[in-house]
Chain A
Amino acid sequence: MAGEQGGSEDGQGAARAVARRSAVRSLVRLWPYVRPVSARLFGSAGVAVTASCLALLIPLVLKWMVDGPVAHRDPSGVWLGGGLVLLLGLLEAGLFGVRRWLIARPMAGLEARMRADLYRHLQRLPVAFHDRWGSGQLLSRGTNDLQILRMFLSFPMVFLVVNSSTVLVGFAILLVQRWSLGLMLLVPVVPLVLLCSYFESRYALASRRAQDQTGDLTTLVEESVLGIRIIKAFGRHRSQAEAFRRESHALRGTELRKARLLADLWALITAVPDVALGVALVVGAVQVADDRLSAGTLVAFLSTALALRWPVESLGWLLSMSNEAATAADRYFEVMDTGLPSETAPEPERPDADRPDADRTVRGQDGIRFSGVRFRYPDAPDGTADLLTGIDLHIPTGETLALVGATGSGKTSLTALIPRLYEATAGRITLDGADTARLTREQLRGMVSIAFEEPTLFSASVRDNVLMGAPGASDADLRWALETAQCGFVDALPHGVDTQVGEQGLSLSGGQRQRLALARAVVGRPRFLVLDDPLSALDVHTEALVEGALREVLATTTALVVAHRPSTVLLADRVALLSGGRITAVGTHHQLLADCPEYHHLMSGDTDERSAA
């Protein structure tokens, strides 16, 4: 269901086409997941083989009946034969039941285990990874691909074994009974299987193409829904519908190609074995007429041949399912193989790592300190300059510093470095003297709280959304945080703080979401607080109220506040100006207004030095 978009996907597609990976090798990687259930899996395969062979015995019993008791008019022998057929039939059905019972729940468990591992892994991969991979891409790995793998393990894999052995045993029986007739049936099998796998591989190509096109179509639908306000504001329904029509026609073309391939394939599958069977029937009839063959053998022969039809036909299909499963396994492990970043940086490598004692002495007093911090996005094209080119900045304990800079100057990126959502490319950031790179993320993120510019709420109650900032906080803390962020609207919601919000709950306005995100950031009364333009979506009235309450919170913590406007800047004790990847000025609002033309320009918009931004 995912949109196949993003550069990484294109690259992978190409790589996949060039270097055909071995399907077997991909599937062998599933072993760690299969091992706990391997006994049952092998058991089920054994049971299935037995069941299929039992089914092949039924025609032999028929033959014995026809040539023996029936030919000799011996009704009691018929009873014996009929009883045997019944017994074999019941055994076959029962064993297939046992097979399913053996693996049903273990396979569901295997799928769940793989999904849990994927989810666990993804949550811990760096944000940069998620920038590259759309959630749809990841989701299709966590759902479709895992379903394909479960299906493969519980069905095609077992039946590849079962049907191959059934075919072998069946043809052995045919050849033993009448090798000439058996050969007649055997002749078309090899070209049939080859043709099937040829068609299946072309079909798989067309399928992949159809999947890609479906993905594009999904992207179009997603965007047309997410951007519905813009489309409506500009009356662009028709051009959107036109784009949709084009892409869905392309998809239809591919689907029709699939149908044509399928049609040819099935024409072969339907006609070829029957032609062979027809020839065998005629030749067999002649032999029976010449008394070179018993009538019972002919009946047994034909019913054996018929019983073998499905196993033969299915081989090509099973092979293509295996291919598909191998692709699914590749897609799954592609993500799982992405290494988690190491928790802490190795000891040396940092410029001022030679003063470990100094670290300790200032601990608890030093606030936030950036020294020589450089940063570029991991996916930035080669040749572009670093976004941050040497940040030196100190926010003493208890101080609130406003970070000001032109649109696109890297303010948000700088804030993301503190809780290590992105890793600085060089330099170091210390919190009360502790190098953030040497803290575990767990420790670090326990110290820092952050409110993002684009507030995200999860499908949970307002309470849970806010309290995720401070697990275990009391109701009083919750109240306090909501009041601080002026979230009075919460009480007007249908169930107050227990109202479900997020994608599956109530939709709140941008301003309301932003205030809840602010409440989340302050609820734990964190030692270090990072606010990224926390008031941008608020109107002047609300902004003034939030500012008043926020001031009290800021007085008790060390904070970095990204600010666009004077009113937000006034929350801070001092201001730092970010320009050209560096901090070019630090001072109080009034100092900078007086001394720094660029700052003056950013705050007032006057002056004609627009080029400074």
Chain B
Amino acid sequence: MLSKRVIACLDVRDGKLAKSIRFVDTKDIGDPIVKAREYYLDGLDELVFYDITASSEARNIMLNVVESVAEQVFIPFSVGGGIRSVRDATDLRMAGAEKINVNSAAVLRPELISECAAAIGSQNVVLSMDIRRVGKTAGVPSGYEIVINGGRRPMGMDALAWAQQGEMLGAGELVVNSIDADGTRDGYEIALTRSVAESVRIPVIASGGAGTPGHLHDVLTTGKADAALIASMVHYGEYTVSEVKTSLHELGVKVRMSW
């Protein structure tokens, strides 16, 4: 039986690990390569790096980070942030990333998803969606709206419709990132995650709001997610990765327990 995955998310700014709260304040909390290796040895199932810088110099720093991580971490990892072209995607793949995450650029130009899928395979293209809860309207019937540019720009697009379109265009996985829950550590947005998971046939990764192993349990069971993203709860040392996984195991969630 397939295990549910615990994925750690590392926001990287100028080569350093950063963490945001509700997408606004960010502060540096360490070396991403050191953290990646530490989590890998402690039983992490997968890693995601988001490059939260935009400048071209920073992109080269990011490629170096990816190369170093690939030399030390032998689990799948994906990289996102600022991917606008197939070239960006293949550069990251060459540097050692397994999968790439597209987000804002795909919203603005959906063909980016199919172009990347053709170049590196659907299974390696992850569509990351930043989603905000809004009132239900004709344009956003689910009441969940897609926002881009780090949560600053609402797009008037329905999250469920975009998830289905992304799957159709060739995304191999979806990240459902709740901007309302991000950084709160009050738990994932379960209803949103479940709605997306029931709308598509590709794996769904829940993101935003993890504070306790119980939160992961809820989104991996009631929320129907295939994987759960964690950040603050391990970055600040409150939990170790192995503690999170052991708790999930004890709560009856099938996770990989030998590493």
User: Is chain B found bound to chain A in the same assembly?
Assistant: no
Chain B residues in the interface with A (C-beta under 8 A): none
